[in-house]
Structure formats: C-alpha cells, structure tokens
Amino acid sequence: MTPIRENILLHTIRKRPADSFKGTYGHVTLIGGNVNYGGAIIMASSAAVYSGAGLVSTLTDPVNRSSLHSWCPEAMFADFHDQTEVVRLTESADVVVLGPGLGTDALAQQIVQTVFTTVKPRQVLVVDGSAITLVAQQKLQFPDAEIILTPHQMEWQRLSGISIPDQTESANQAAVSRLKATVVLKSHRTEVYTSTGVYQNTTGTPAQATGGMGDTLAGIVGGFVAQFSNHSNAVLAAVYTHSAIADQLAENQYVVLPHQIIQNLPAFMKVHEAK
C-alpha cells in the first residue's frame, strides 16, 4: 500500500482563483439524521461547510433543523420525508452524501432507493454508515454514478462479504473492483482503494476513537470532492486532513471531538494549500 502523506494536500488543495463564486465550489447535498441520530448529519453537514463547499443542503428529519442551524446556519434545510425534495436536491447536487445517521427503517430504505434512481453518471455519490448496511441487507445495486464508500470494517464485511480478519489488501481490492467504487475502509489506519491504487493513511490518533468521527469524515470527503477536480486525490486528502487535525489537537487533548476537527478545517487547509 502507498502511504498517504502530507504532500497529497499540496497536490489537492488548490489556491482559489480570484474570479470565482460559490458555484465554483460545488453543491453538496447531505441526507441523513433521523429522530435519534441528528448529531451525525449535523457533523457531516458542518464538515462540508467548513471544508469549503460552495453550497450545502441538508435533507434530514425536521426535529433536527434547530440544532443543525445552531451549529451551522450556512446549511440549507429540507425535510427528508418529502420525496420531491429528495429528488430535487439530489438532482441539483454535484455531490450527494447519503447515510450519516440515516438509520435502516422503511423511510431510510425509500430514501436510498430514491437517491439511487435519481443520481446521474456525472454526479458523485458518497455512501456512508447505515446506507451501506442497507445496500448490503437489501442487496441493492449501486447506481451508475461516481461511487465513494466510507465503511468501517463491520460495514465492509456486510457489503463485501469479507469477514474482518480476512480483509486483506488483495481480498478488498477484488471486491472493490466488482463494486466499481472508491472505498475508504475506516480503521485506526484507514485504507483507501481507488482506481489508481491502494493507500494507507499515516495520520490518526486513539484520541479520535469517539462517536461521530465517521460522519465528520464523510462530510469532509463530500466537501473536498465538490471542490477539487481530481477525485481520487480529494478522497486521499480528506482522509489525511481529518486525522492530521486530530493529531494536532491530540497534542493537548486526551480526546478529540469531531466538532473540534470541523472547526479547525479552515485554518488547517490554509496552511496546506498549494503554493
């Protein structure tokens, strides 16, 4: 595996051109956050905003609107019960992030199916968390779009059929090829399987071992892919950035919380943008 190192950032986080506007930096639609897991979609949406996406729309349960806007007034809200809205905001997105806190109930299934039948080949679909579990349970086919998956090891077992001890590089690579997807396999040393190779992250700290980290990574992946044209590099840079910020914070913190990583994105990215 190729180690993911700091130089990926200089190749990815481009200096923004002076003559640009919010449309230049993409529209990310995030879908998730049921009545129990609102925090997940708040963190994912905030991560997309703080990583620099031009426009962010959040499809979630209305019970999460107030806390979403308390964290992030920059995100637009829509009700994920409204299938018309799910279709509209999937169509208008450059990148769809599906799954943080979505759950696996009937509504979640319906939403996954609506998104899968709506996305187009030119769009990026990031599938995370319970949406991965649903795909595995229901044996759904991924749609014809650019697919990025962000499973942890158990979700990857469900999806690929490879049990955790058997998740070797070659076994994973074979499954990834069948899926025609980019796969971010999260662990304490996250691996990324792309069309260009297999990579392993070199950043990360046990101070990060807390709920919400995966939701936050999904949002950063969404934000980076929306902005940076080389999507493989964007995913690698997102994985590196997420844990590199945690490493910095962990120098002075026993535990690092997801929202702290989010709030440090703009400063970290500035230090590491292309010169």
Using CB under 8 A, which residues numbered 70 to 129 contact a second copy? 70-79
Helix (H, G, I), strand (E, B) or coil at 107: helix
Least distance to a second copy from the beta carbon of 180, Å? 28
Least distance to a second copy from the beta carbon of 130, Å? 12
> Does the annotation place 187 within a ligand binding site?
yes
**Per residue in 205-230, is it b (16+ CB within 10 Å) or e — as a string?**
bebbeeebbbbbbbbbbbbbbbbbee
Label residue 192 exposed, middle or buried (CB < 10 Å: 0-12, 13-18, 19+). Answer: buried
For residue 56, give Cα distances in angstroms to 8, 23, 42, 106, 263.
Answer: 25, 11, 12, 26, 16
> Does the annotation place 166 within a ligand binding site?
no
Least distance to a second copy from the beta carbon of 153, Å? 9
Kindly provide the residue ranges of all beta strands, DSSP E only, lying in 75-188, ordered along the sequence.
Answer: 76-79, 95-98, 124-128, 146-150, 181-185
**Residues of span 50-69 touching a second copy by CB under 8 A:** 50-56, 62-69
Gyration radius of the chain's alpha carbons: 17
Tell me the site size for a second copy, rule CB under 8 A. Answer: 71
Count of all residues that appear for the chain in the document: 275
Q: Which is nearer to a second copy, 48 or 132 (CB)?
A: 48
Reference 13, options 256, 253, 227, 211; nearest CA is 227
Q: Which is nearer to a second copy, 116 or 128 (CB)?
A: 128
> Does the annotation place 105 within a ligand binding site?
no
> Does the annotation place 190 within a ligand binding site?
yes
Say what the alpha-carbon torsion angle 167, 258, 207, 127 is, to the nearest 10 degrees.
0
User: What CA–CA distance (Å, rounded) separates 261 from 269?
Assistant: 12
> Does the annotation place 196 within a ligand binding site?
no
**Residues of span 234-263 touching a second copy by CB under 8 A:** 250-259
Assess 187 for contact with a second copy (CB under 8 A): yes
Q: Which is nearer to a second copy, 174 or 209 (CB)?
A: 209
**Residues of span 126-155 touching a second copy by CB under 8 A:** none
Convert residues 18-57 into a mask of x (bound to a second copy by CB under 8 A) and - (unbound). Answer: xxxxx-xx---------xxxxxx-xx-----xxxxxxxx-
Q: Which is nearer to a second copy, 56 or 145 (CB)?
A: 56
Annotated binding site for (6S)-NADPHX: 40, 101, 152, 215
